[in-house]
Amino acid sequence: VSKINTIILGLIIINTLFISSCAGKLKEANNIAESAGFKSTVLNTSYFKLQVFYRISRTRVPITIYIEGDGLGWLTRTQPSSNPTPRNPLALRLAAIDKGENVVYIARPCQYIELKHEKLCHVPYWTHKRFAKEVILAVDEAIDTMVSKAKAKNIHLVGYSGGGAVVAMVAAKRRDVASIRTVAGYMDHVALNRKANVSPLIGSLDPLKAAPRLKTIPQVHYIGRKDKRVPGWVLKNFIKAMGGGNCITLRRVNASHEEGWEDVWAKVWSKMPSCR
């Protein structure tokens, strides 16, 4: 009996620590958001609730929308996380640097959300289905809501890591995208996973298939020279899939996958992409 009690006590402690950790991550995100004058809201979409931070200072002007990375999808190479909330919300940190009038940050599905009440918030949606059709539709709906709130005619999209792939697939569906910027963008998961000898993302859409519809949108893809997780050839594959053109720029900067980007962004956030 004492052994069973010890196991139960251990599980209770683990669960308590996990809940405390998630609460701590939300508090950290709120602190980052508040420092930038952002408000917080949770948007209901047809599939997921999405955590959103935003600053709408002036209506009828474009809004810049930041999409978060994949977050904590895996604890180890083979063990998925039980909650994808990011340890370091880099897209939120970049959004907080942006001094634009209208800035919106959208977390990925199941990040910063009470998971026990969410019917779709299960491991597949932050592992192999993280780019599923319903994920893209949910983000697209959230963008619609914020566009309506700001009465904006155009949007600028920024995606970090896996958020870059989401941005590409959302942009391919819309007609109001004035520019695209990706930061360490995970733009060819098929080739990257094959080369890394890890399982394919079964149930996910492929951003390369959306690429041809994006070639006339002004865009800059930032890649870190020290990035070991998303090497430069991944972005080159995506650019090749678009078919080239004079609206696409690849820029290498002094950063790794997670470090160095805040310094970079402080210098480039206001430099909007343009066609040459």
What is the helix (H) or strand (E) element at residue 166, kind and residue range? helix 162-171
Task: Give the containing element (helix H, strand E) for 35.
Answer: helix 2-35
CA nearest neighbour of 139 among 179, 181, 175, 104: 104
The answer, yes or no, to whether residue 8 has pLDDT greater than 90, is no
Token duo for residue 258: 């997670």
Distance CA 119, CA 48 (A): 9
Q: Where are the chain's structural domains?
A: 33-268
- Tell me the pTM: 0.92
Distance CA 205, CA 202 (A): 9
State yes or no: pLDDT of 14 exceeds 50: no
Percent of the chain topping pLDDT 90: 88
Q: How confident is the model at residue 244 (pLDDT cuts 50, 70, 90)?
A: confident
Instruction: With both helix axes pointing from N to C terminus, report the angle between 2-35 and 90-97 in degrees, rounded to the nearest 10.
Output: 20
Class of domain 33-268: alpha beta
Q: What is the pLDDT of residues 17-56, one digit of tens each?
A: 445 567 789 999 999 999 999 999 999 999 999 999 999 9
pLDDT of residue 117: 85
Q: Per-residue pLDDT for 121 more than 70?
A: yes
Q: What are phi and psi of 223, to 5 degrees?
A: -130, 135
